[in-house]
Amino acid sequence: MLKVNADVSFNKTSKKAAVAAIVCDVTRQIKGGDTLILKSSSASPAEAFAIQFGMTFAIKNGLSNVIFESDCLDVVNRVKSKIFSVWESASIEKDILNLLLSHPSFSLVYDPRACNRTTDWVAKGTLAECCPCDWTTFIPQGLKLLL
C-alpha cells in the first residue's frame, strides 16, 4: 500500500500556485514525487489539480493500491458526493472521480493539514523557488525533520 499526499501553495496576488505530490510507503519513506507551478484563479481549483496531478503521477509510474490524501476537505467531499458545485474546479473534480472509477485500487481520503506537513513544505518551497529539483533523491534536512 502506498500513499500519495497532494497539496498546493497558492499566492493570491500573483495567482501562481505550486502543486506537490509525494509518494510514501507505510513507513513514511519517500518513494517519489513531483511538483509543478501553474496559474490558478483561486485555491480551490489548484487544490483539485494537486489531487489530479498526484493521480496522474501514480498512473504514469505504474502504481496501484494507492490512497490519495488531501487536506482540502471541500474538494474531497465534492468528489465523493459527486456534487460538483464549484464551477472553477468542477471539470477537474469530475476527472478525479473518473480516475478513481477506472482504477479500483485507488482511493481518496481527507487528511488534516497536520498530517501533510511534508507535502506542504515541498509546495511552499516550490512556490518560493527554493525547493531543490532533486528533493526526492537527496531529501533536504528541513524535509527530513518532518518525516
Mean pLDDT for 14-31 is: 94
Residue 114 reports pLDDT greater than 80: no
Alpha carbon separation from 119 to 60, 107, 126 (Å, rounded):
20, 18, 10
Which of 45, 60, 54, 59 shows the shortest CA–CA distance to 22? 54
Cα–Cα distance for residue pair 65/104, rounded to 1 Å:
8
Which one-letter amino acid corresponds to residue 33?
G
C-alpha cell at 37: 507551478
Predicted TM-score (pTM) of the model is: 0.92
Q: What is the band of 139 on the pLDDT scale with cuts at 50, 70, 90?
A: confident
Beta strand pairing status for 30-39 and 16-24?
A: antiparallel
Q: What percent of the chain has pLDDT over 90?
A: 79
C-alpha cell at 137: 533523491
Cα–Cα distance for residue pair 9/87, rounded to 1 Å:
20
Task: Give DSSP secondary structure letters for 17-47.
Answer: EEEEEEEE-TT--EEEEEEEEEE-SSHHHHH
